[in-house]
């Protein structure tokens, strides 16, 4: 809408409303791929300057109001192009792709997407004169809105794609945070938590715990559509699903706080000469040991925040003079 100067008053009204209610972070698309409805990326690497100016305008006006932006870089769904458009572009160039899921593994679609990342992140805003990658009002980059890989329920395809693309974003822009855009389905890295998924086992090829442990992912997100995910359910059942969905993911996010609380208690006892003389961490594993997981494991090189908590405790305990 902001790409049409005649509609910008509506954008301003929306931003004003967000500011008035006290919002601090908002989210919008940094994509519109192909098609005839004002695409940002017309064909691979070819962009509409008018549409880019619209995004420039949104960022500049959000900044004036003290609003921070999460900018999503692609869509899982067909709306505004999505990964389907990337696959079609590759097919149009004569490449043999079988399904939309090939977006995540095909080198041609990966190249298209990485080029888009670089083009957006290095864009210099015409209203502010600041490159997006240097813009302090951008809160984070989102790799994709609600990515799914139903053809690989093991989660390996998504894990590899997130690792590759989040690392690439960081190589272009080391200042901003990165999040994936997941809905929050649990996968094989936490099988005991799959019971919280819609239907008790649904994953769509994503893994909330495993995907978000990648070191170049800074924070996690979840989405919730109980009316779609629990079809035929009553309003009360949808509310109950939502409560459990939120509680389980909040518990995941609070894990480091829990560890820190336990370690603080152990440290206080050791330092004060109390009966608790130390604590062992259950359990540390290496990459590739997924078949041994029990839901309590930590792969330190994939969990930098937890690693920091454990390391701090080791240093504190080691510094106590007997």
C-beta atoms surrounding 185 within 10 Å: 24
Which residue stretches of the chain have pLDDT < 50? none
Look up the pTM and report it.
0.82
- Please tell me the predicted confidence (pLDDT) of residue 47: 98
- Please tell me the predicted confidence (pLDDT) of residue 231: 87
User: Domain residue spans in the chain?
Assistant: 5-231, 254-322
Between CA 276 and CA 197, with CA 282 as vertex, the angle to 5 degrees is: 130
- Please tell me the predicted confidence (pLDDT) of residue 122: 99
- Please tell me the predicted confidence (pLDDT) of residue 290: 66
Domain 5-231 part of CATH 3.20.20.80: yes
* Strand spans (E) along the chain: 25-29, 41-43, 46-47, 68-72, 138-142, 177-179
- Please tell me the predicted confidence (pLDDT) of residue 149: 97
- Please tell me the predicted confidence (pLDDT) of residue 138: 98
C-beta atoms surrounding 279 within 10 Å: 17
Helix-then-strand count for the chain, H and E: 10, 6
Cis geometry, peptide bond prior to residue 109 (ω within 30 degrees of 0) = no
CB-CB contact of 97 with 151 (8 Å): no
Q: Pairing mode, if any, of strands 25-29 and 138-142?
A: unpaired
- Please tell me the predicted confidence (pLDDT) of residue 31: 98
CB-CB contact of 71 with 28 (8 Å): yes
- Please tell me the predicted confidence (pLDDT) of residue 295: 66
């Amino acid at each position: 809408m902001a790409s049409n100067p005649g509609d910008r008053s509506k954008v301003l009204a929306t931003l004003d409303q967000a500011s008035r209610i006290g919002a601090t972070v908002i989210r919008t698309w940094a994509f519109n791929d192909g098609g005839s409805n004002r695409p940002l990326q017309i064909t691979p690497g070819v962009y509409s300057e008018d549409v880019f100016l619209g995004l420039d305008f949104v960022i500049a006006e959000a900044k004036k109001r003290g609003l921070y932006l999460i900018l999503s870089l692609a869509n899982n769904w067909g709306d505004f192009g999505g990964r389907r458009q990337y696959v079609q572009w590759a097919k149009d160039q004569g490449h043999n792709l079988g399904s939309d899921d090939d977006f995540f593994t095909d080198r041609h679609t990966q190249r298209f997407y990485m080029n888009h990342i670089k083009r957006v992140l290095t864009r210099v805003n015409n209203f502010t004169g600041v490159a997006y990658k240097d813009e302090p009002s951008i809160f984070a980059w989102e790799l994709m809105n609600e990515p799914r890989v139903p053809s690989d329920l093991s989660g390996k395809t998504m894990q590899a794609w997130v690792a590759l693309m989040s690392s690439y974003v960081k190589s272009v822009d080391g200042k901003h945070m990165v999040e994936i855009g997941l809905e929050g389905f649990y996968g094989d890295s936490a099988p005991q938590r799959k019971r919280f998924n819609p239907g008790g086992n649904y994953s769509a090829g994503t893994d909330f715990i495993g995907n978000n442990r990648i070191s170049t992912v800074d924070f996690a997100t979840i989405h919730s559509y109980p009316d779609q995910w629990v079809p035929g359910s009553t309003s009360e059942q949808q509310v109950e699903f939502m409560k459990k969905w939120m509680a389980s993911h909040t518990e995941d996010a609070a894990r480091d706080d829990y560890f820190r609380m336990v370690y603080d208690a152990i440290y206080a006892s050791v330092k004060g000469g109390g009966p608790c003389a130390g604590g062992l961490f259950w359990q540390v594993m290496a990459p590739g040991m997924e078949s041994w997981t029990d839901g309590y494991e930590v792969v330190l090189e994939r969990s930098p925040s937890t690693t920091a908590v454990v390391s701090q405790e080791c240093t504190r305990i080691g510094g106590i003079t007997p």
